[in-house]
């Protein structure tokens, strides 16, 4: 009997080690020398390109992608050790905020939303809009006057963290929520916008992925769907049911891929939560936060064809970019998603614009490229990134409010530089 238990124990521990080991070794970071030949090869596949440093292209690859590269005869160098080790130093012992410092874990997001709700019972309401695959709650914070009632006001969605490793994308919507609530009573502009709209903030759409990125593997991107073939994860920003899987350039049907689109459109519970919320609400605009690249993107992502409202989307992006630059001098470029970055299919913004016809933007937060830090932002960068994104979000809310009262309009509000200065001043005051 004793022996049997011992065996079960030893076997159990062995299995845990095996599984953990595999998950970590799942993927490697490799580099390929940049040349017309290598670019040609990389272009025809959906590799997870991290960026370029000194003539070398860095790629995040799964074992099968690695074999693919080998079979294509492309020479590469494994950089995983160097890379992960480098950034291990960015995982210091924090006195405050736990393992991820000032960045929020799932639990910390929950606590912060509860705090904001408790301190502003008439302005903020926390709700659970769904559950992740691993049964974590998907939280939303609604911000408006008379927040308990559903009023006839323009509704706007600010959403973060479709992608686990893009930690900064949780912080920006969370800080915007906090700013709106803390400045409501002393800032007329903020008060007017909050009174005349219903702002829905979902800071963390992919809690399972985020936790995995924090505790196991920093570069994790997808959710944690068990694909049943010893691979994990669906790319949440490829799973929406609009032109889903229309080609293999904008997403992948390979389960291992970092842009795996899932078994079927809307298959993931996180995406179903967003869809259900849309069915219940009356959203007029949205921003989906990602990182990195410092760029504002609008539909279409799935094609190079222009959207019908291309002029409006371009004007709004341009004005948002202008407002952002005025804060810290940082330039966010802007453009149609497919042109400005790369093709994607099944992303949130195409779906929201395609199905609901509302202006929908992806904001890729700083840094501008991989060399400047990629998915890693210093703790001190969180605040300036939030501050430059604040006027852009408020501006889009203002557009939604204006066009809600006047009927859908392609007119955009003028950029008010004065307002922008005031916002900065208020942000300074908080320090
Ligand atoms: O690929 C994505 O889902 C987004 N970029 S990220 O590096 N954060 O993963 C971009 C989505 C916007 N759409 C297009 N670029 N088409
Ligand atoms: Ca923390
Ligand atoms: Ca209201
Ligand atoms: Ca309403
Ligand atoms: Zn992303």
Say how many Å lie between the CA of residue 315 and the centre of ligand 1.
20
Catalytic residue chosen out of the listed positions 153, 171, 364, 388:
364
Distance CA 50, CA 67 (A): 19
Say how many Å lie between the CA of residue 270 and the centre of ligand 4.
22
Say how many Å lie between the CA of residue 113 and the centre of ligand 2.
14
- Is 40 noted as a catalytic residue in this protein? no
**DSSP conformation class of 331:** P
Would you say the CB of residue 136 lies under 6 angstroms from ligand 1? no
106-429: CATH class = alpha beta
Would you say the CB of residue 197 lies under 6 angstroms from ligand 1? no
Cα end-to-end distance, the chain, whole Å: 65
Amino acid 415: pLDDT: 76
Would you say the CB of residue 341 lies under 6 angstroms from ligand 1? yes
Amino acid 226: pLDDT: 98
> If pLDDT is split at 50, 70 and 90, which confidence band does 420 have?
very low
> To the nearest whole number, what is the mean pLDDT of the chain?
88
Whether the per-residue pLDDT at 341 is higher than 60: the answer is yes
Count of beta carbons in the 10 Å neighbourhood of residue 33: 13
Distance CA 406, CA 286 (A): 19
> If pLDDT is split at 50, 70 and 90, which confidence band does 410 have?
low
Residue ranges in 218-347 assigned as alpha helix (H): 269-280, 310-328, 337-340
Would you say the CB of residue 342 lies under 6 angstroms from ligand 1? yes
Distance CA 277, CA 150 (A): 13
- CATH 3.30.70 holds for 4-90: yes
Amino acid 416: pLDDT: 63
* pLDDT, mean of residues 100-118: 98
Would you say the CB of residue 237 lies under 6 angstroms from ligand 1? yes
Say how many Å lie between the CA of residue 197 and the centre of ligand 3.
6
CB within 8 A of 254, min separation 6: which ones?
46, 64, 260
pLDDT digits (tens, 9 = 90+) for 367-407: 999 989 999 999 999 999 999 999 999 999 999 999 998 87
Burial (CB count within 10 angstroms: exposed 0-12, middle 13-18, buried 19+), residue 179: buried
* Cβ-contact 296, 323 below 8 angstroms: no
Neighbours of ion ligand 2 (CB under 5 A): 97-98, 100, 108
Write down the residue that tokens 């790629």 correspond to.
59
Backbone phi and psi for residue 302, each to the nearest 5 degrees, phi listed first: -85, -15
- pLDDT above 70: percentage of residues in the chain: 86
Distance CA 362, CA 327 (A): 20
Would you say the CB of residue 290 lies under 6 angstroms from ligand 1? yes
Query: Which of 72-81, 201-210, 213-222, 320-329 has the least mean pLDDT?
Result: 72-81
pLDDT digits (tens, 9 = 90+) for 157-193: 999 999 999 999 999 999 999 999 999 999 999 999 9
| Ligand 1 atom 3, closest CA | 237
Distance CA 167, CA 105 (A): 9
Across the strands, what pairs with 32? Answer: 57
**DSSP code string of 374-426:** TT---GGGHHHHHHHHHHHHHHHHHHHHHHHHH-S-S--PPP-HHHHHHHHHH
Ligand nearest to the CA of 147: 3
Distance CA 162, CA 117 (A): 24
Q: What is the largest CA-CA distance in the chain?
A: 79
Domain boundaries, the chain: 4-90, 106-429
Please state the pTM of the whole predicted model. Answer: 0.83
Would you say the CB of residue 301 lies under 6 angstroms from ligand 1? yes
* pLDDT, mean of residues 198-214: 98
> Which candidate, 232, 235, 265, 242, places its Cα nearest to that of 163?
235
**DSSP conformation class of 232:** B
Say how many Å lie between the CA of residue 291 and the centre of ligand 5.
6
| Ligand 1 atom 1, closest CA | 344
* Cβ-contact 297, 360 below 8 angstroms: no
pLDDT digits (tens, 9 = 90+) for 246-297: 999 999 999 999 999 999 999 999 999 999 999 999 999 999 999 999 999 9
Q: In terms of pLDDT, which residue wins out, 73 or 205?
A: 205
Pocket test for ligand 1, best of 167, 270, 297, 348 (most atoms within 8 A of CB): 297
Does residue 337 sit in helix, strand or coil? Answer: helix
pLDDT digits (tens, 9 = 90+) for 79-103: 887 665 434 344 445 667 899 999 9
Would you say the CB of residue 238 lies under 6 angstroms from ligand 1? no
């Amino acid at each position: 009997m004793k022996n049997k238990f011992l065996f079960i124990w030893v076997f159990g521990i062995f299995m845990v080690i095996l599984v953990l080991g595999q998950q970590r070794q799942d993927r490697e970071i490799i580099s390929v020398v940049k040349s017309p030949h290598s670019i040609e090869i990389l272009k025809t596949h959906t590799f997870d390109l991290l960026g370029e440093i000194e003539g070398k292209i860095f790629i995040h690859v799964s074992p099968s992608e690695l074999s693919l590269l080998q079979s294509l005869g492309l020479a590469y160098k494994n950089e995983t050790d160097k890379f992960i080790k480098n950034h291990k130093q960015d995982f210091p012992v924090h006195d405050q905020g736990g393992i991820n410092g000032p960045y929020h874990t799932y639990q910390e997001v929950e606590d912060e939303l509860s705090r904001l709700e408790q301190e502003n019972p008439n302005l903020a309401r926390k709700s659970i809009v769904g559950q992740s695959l691993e049964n974590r709650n998907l939280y939303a914070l609604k911000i408006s006057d008379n927040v308990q009632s559903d009023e006839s006001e323009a509704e706007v969605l600010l959403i973060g963290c479709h992608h686990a490793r893009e930690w900064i994308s949780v912080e920006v919507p969370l800080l915007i929520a906090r700013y709106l609530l803390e400045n409501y009573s002393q800032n007329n502009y903020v008060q007017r916008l909050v009174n005349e709209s219903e702002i829905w903030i979902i800071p963390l759409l992919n809690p399972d992925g985020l936790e995995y990125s924090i505790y196991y593997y920093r570069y994790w991107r997808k959710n944690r769907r068990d694909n049943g073939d010893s691979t994990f994860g669906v790319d949440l920003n490829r799973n929406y049911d609009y032109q889903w899987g229309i080609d293999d350039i904008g997403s992948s049907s390979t389960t291992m891929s970092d842009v795996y689109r899932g078994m079927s459109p809307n298959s993931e519970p996180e995406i179903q939560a967003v869809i259900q919320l849309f069915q219940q609400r009356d959203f007029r605009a949205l921003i989906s936060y990602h990182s990195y690249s410092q760029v504002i993107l609008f539909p279409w992502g799935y094609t190079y064809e222009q959207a019908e409202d291309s002029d409006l989307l371009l004007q709004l992006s341009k004005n948002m970019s202008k407002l952002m630059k005025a804060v810290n001098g940082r330039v966010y470029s802007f453009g149609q998603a497919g042109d400005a970055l790369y093709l994607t299919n099944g992303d949130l913004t195409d779906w929201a614009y395609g199905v609901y016809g509302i202006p929908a933007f992806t904001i890729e937060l700083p840094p501008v490229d991989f060399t400047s830090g990629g998915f890693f932002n210093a703790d001190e960068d969180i605040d300036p990134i939030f501050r430059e994104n604040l006027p852009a979000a408020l501006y889009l809310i203002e557009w939604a409010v204006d066009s809600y009262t006047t009927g859908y309009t392609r007119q955009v509000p003028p950029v008010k530089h004065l307002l922008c200065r005031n916002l900065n001043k208020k942000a300074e005051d908080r320090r």
